[in-house]
Amino acid sequence: CNHCPYVKAIAARLSADAKTLQNIDIGVIAIMANDPKQNAEDSFENMSAFAETHGFTFPYVIDETQDVARAYDAVCTPDFFGFNQDLELQYRGRLDESGRMPAAENARRELVEAMVKISETGKGPAEQIPSVGCSIKWCP
């Protein structure tokens, strides 16, 4: 979501890491599941501006019904899911060690490493550290 400090902390790294993945033919999509009525910063119009500001080269879409978030058991923003070519979930972790502040420039690129491993072997890494962030703002 656009207003979450955890997402803001990783936006630049997410944009760069997505480009890295796209350059090796790994698809990327971001799904905003928050109820935009609870925070105007999460509106579709603001999503478009956020994507442009951060140079997103991947679709950034809204889950208006929150059905996708529920199907994936998403719990926070951001929350990362990586699938193999058979659409089997192989990674449920974090982008990197960022929290409310961006990680150091030389921090492990955990999502990139996981997705490269998945593309090469079909399996995710044994160690997966859950993402932390803001709770999803569910519709009433």
| pLDDT band at residue 111 under the 50/70/90 scheme | very high
Q: So what's the pLDDT on residue 140?
A: 92
Q: So what's the pLDDT on residue 40?
A: 93
Instruction: State the amino acid at position 38 in one-letter form.
Output: Q
Question: CB neighbours (10 Å) of residue 41?
Answer: 15
Q: Which two tokens stand for residue 95?
A: 């982008």
pLDDT tens digits, 28-57: 999 999 999 999 999 999 999 999 999 999
Q: So what's the pLDDT on residue 113?
A: 98
| pLDDT band at residue 104 under the 50/70/90 scheme | very high
Q: So what's the pLDDT on residue 89?
A: 98
Tell me which H or E stretch contains 61: strand 60-62
| pLDDT band at residue 68 under the 50/70/90 scheme | very high
pLDDT tens digits, 70-91: 999 999 999 999 999 999 999 9
d(CA 72, CA 69): 5
